[in-house]
Amino acid sequence: MKILVVGGGGREHALLWKLREDRPDARLFATRPNAGMARVAEGVDLAPTDVDGLSTWASGEEIDLVVVGPEGPLATGLVDRLRTRGIPAFGPTATAARIEASKAFSKDLMARAGVPTARYRTFTDADEAEAYIRKGEAPVVVKASGLAAGKGAVVCSTIDEAVETAREMLEGGAFGDAGELVVVEEFMHGEELSVFGLTDGEKVLTLLPSQDHKRVGEGDTGPNTGGMGAYAPLSLVTPDLMRRVREEVFLPTLEALARAGAPFRGVLYAGLMLSEAGPRVVEFNCRFGDPEAQVVLPLLESSLLDLMLPIASGGSLEMDERDVRWRSGAALTTVVASRGYPGDYVKDLPIDLPDAATSDPDVLFFHAGTRVDGGRPVTAGGRVLAVTGRGTTLQEARDRSLRGAAAVNFDGAHFRRDIGWREFARSEATRP
Ligand code: AMP
Ligand code: GLY
């Protein structure tokens, strides 16, 4: 069996790692793999968004499954093109990927489907946006509608800041085309949660819930990043809450997508805010989360490949949550980042990772922004590695993750030591 994973970050390394576990005999390929992926997969020197190049290559190689990691190639129509050529591809079509690629589309769809989310309005005109913002209250959230690498949402603590942010997006060209349409929405209070739903467009199978840490600094301070760490599962998520997430979020959204002529196959990621009234949607993504995939996949004992294949080949999802086996315990990942990230940072710094650090099977070094240069790994991005620890308790998982993160050496390496703090605070609070 031949499998191609598209994308070259931490999430894609975790996908390859899991697929390798599921099928040790498979031939794995990856587009421009990072240094960690290059050890598991053969490289294909094509850009993830090279739709023509990739579909021609996959067809020539008779690839049995293509798994698309990032949103960019999904929004560009890679899966549409692969399907036209009869190649099984895991991920939504470009029309369905609009659930992430256009926040305006996503909000309108939720409104029509009655899915709980923040109140909002969309604008193309800065004066109209300003008038609306001035009528409301702070804090308020201003978002570029298009894809902005996770940086297009600005939580504004004052009305003036919100007005200025909307103007920068609509008139100042901040975020380019992505900011030509702006969503202004109500700020929601509560705790955030990520849930992945594997879906054939109709049925959905939810995976273990996880929690990301988006701010760069400890205690959730400083600017937003792509994610500095994550853990799974969360003690706060009860079976009843998961049932509500399925029934109030996933199923109506999938039905509305199908009705809009955009049936969604692949993994739908619901970013949720837990309010007193129940789960409300912060955003949808059309792919696995990064770094959430680096904690959810290492806990999945069942075959991911078996879950993906029917979805990718146009069949229906025969399994449900009861058929999926999970390892007991928890996983926690710590992202080791470049100095300066999420602002400017330098690349090409040599990375030192002692062999001794990599011998524990419950410490997993997922490469993100790395590449091989002259036979050794060097930094190639802001988020360099995600070090996942597994354990019978979250505490044990954290200790392993932190030990692994501390063993990664490159100039300016930094990481948060408080990933999972909300869960630890909860267990403190409930201790007799
Ligand atoms: P997004 O790009 O929509 O995922 O937003 C990025 C982050 O901004 C989210 O993970 C939240 O932490 C925060 N955020 C976005 N929208 C809201 C909202 N309506 N209320 C509170 N926080 C939000
Ligand atoms: N961890 C957030 C994301 O993948 O969008």
In this prediction, residues 236-261 reach a mean pLDDT of 96
Residues with CB under 6 A from ligand 2: 150, 212, 227, 285, 289-290, 292
Longest dimension (CA), the chain: 63
- For a mutational test of ligand 2's pocket, the pick from 106, 194, 268, i.e. the residue with the most ligand atoms closer than 8 A to its C-beta, is 194
Whether the ω angle into residue 291 lies within 30 degrees of 0, i.e. cis, is yes
Percent of the chain whose predicted confidence (pLDDT) is above 90: 85
Which atom belonging to ligand 2 lies closest to the Cα atom of 230?
1
The model's confidence at residue 319, banded by pLDDT at 50, 70 and 90, is very high
Per-residue model confidence as pLDDT tens digits over 269-295? 999 999 888 999 999 999 999 999 999
Give the distance (Å) from ligand 2 centre to CA of residue 375. Answer: 31
Quick one: which ligand is closest to 272's CA? 1
In this prediction, residues 172-192 reach a mean pLDDT of 85
Give the distance (Å) from ligand 1 centre to CA of residue 237. Answer: 20
The model's confidence at residue 150, banded by pLDDT at 50, 70 and 90, is low
Q: Which among 320, 306, 212, 317 has a CA at the least distance from the CA of 264? A: 317
pTM for the complete prediction?
Answer: 0.95
Question: What distance in Å separates the CA atoms of residue 168 and residue 400, rounded to the nearest whole number?
Answer: 43
Give the distance (Å) from ligand 1 centre to CA of residue 72. Answer: 20
Point out the least confidently predicted range of 108-117, 163-172, 235-244: 163-172
**Residue nearest to ligand 2 atom 3, measured at CA:** 289
Give the distance (Å) from ligand 2 centre to CA of residue 321. Answer: 23
> Residue 221: pLDDT above 60?
yes
Give the distance (Å) from ligand 1 centre to CA of residue 119. Answer: 13
How much is the pLDDT for 178?
75
DSSP strands (E only) in 134-293: 140-144, 153-156, 182-186, 191-199, 204-206, 211-212, 215-217, 221-224, 229-232, 266-275, 278-285
Task: Compute the mean pLDDT over every residue in the chain, rounded to the nearest whole number.
Answer: 94
Whether the ω angle into residue 342 lies within 30 degrees of 0, i.e. cis, is yes
Residues contacting residue 8 through CB under 8 Å, at least 6 positions apart:
30, 31, 32, 33, 34, 37, 48
Per-residue model confidence as pLDDT tens digits over 165-176? 999 888 877 777
- For a mutational test of ligand 1's pocket, the pick from 141, 183, 192, 228, i.e. the residue with the most ligand atoms closer than 8 A to its C-beta, is 141
**Residue nearest to ligand 2 atom 2, measured at CA:** 289
Give the distance (Å) from ligand 2 centre to CA of residue 11. Answer: 10
Neighbours of 205 (CB within 10 A): 22
In this prediction, residues 298-318 reach a mean pLDDT of 97
Give the distance (Å) from ligand 1 centre to CA of residue 248. Answer: 19
> Residue 354: pLDDT above 80?
no
In this prediction, residues 173-200 reach a mean pLDDT of 89
**Residue nearest to ligand 2 atom 4, measured at CA:** 289
Between 310 and 183, name the one with better pLDDT. 310
Query: Is-contact 397 231, C-beta < 8 A?
Result: yes
Quick one: which ligand is closest to 145's CA? 1
Sign of CA dihedral 260, 89, 51, 143: positive
Which atom belonging to ligand 2 lies closest to the Cα atom of 287?
4
In Å, how far are 19, 38, 63, 138, 243 from 31, measured between CA atoms? Answer: 16, 10, 13, 44, 37
Give the distance (Å) from ligand 1 centre to CA of residue 325. Answer: 31
Give the distance (Å) from ligand 1 centre to CA of residue 280. Answer: 11
**Residue nearest to ligand 1 atom 4, measured at CA:** 283
Per-residue model confidence as pLDDT tens digits over 56-95? 999 999 999 999 999 999 999 999 999 999 999 999 999 9
How much is the pLDDT for 313?
96
Quick one: which ligand is closest to 224's CA? 1
Quick one: which ligand is closest to 220's CA? 1
How much is the pLDDT for 431?
56
How much is the pLDDT for 432?
53
How much is the pLDDT for 223?
85
Point out the least confidently predicted range of 164-173, 231-240, 322-331: 164-173
Quickly tell me which residue has 């315990």 as its tokens: 329
Per-residue model confidence as pLDDT tens digits over 360-405? 999 999 999 999 999 999 999 999 999 999 999 999 999 999 999 9
How much is the pLDDT for 357?
73
Q: Which among 91, 101, 187, 108 has a CA at the least distance from the CA of 148? A: 101
Complete domains list, the chain, with CATH: 2-93 (3.40.50.20), 125-180 (3.30.1490.20)
How much is the pLDDT for 345?
95
Helix or strand or coil: residue 219? coil
How much is the pLDDT for 333?
98
> Residue 213: pLDDT above 70?
yes
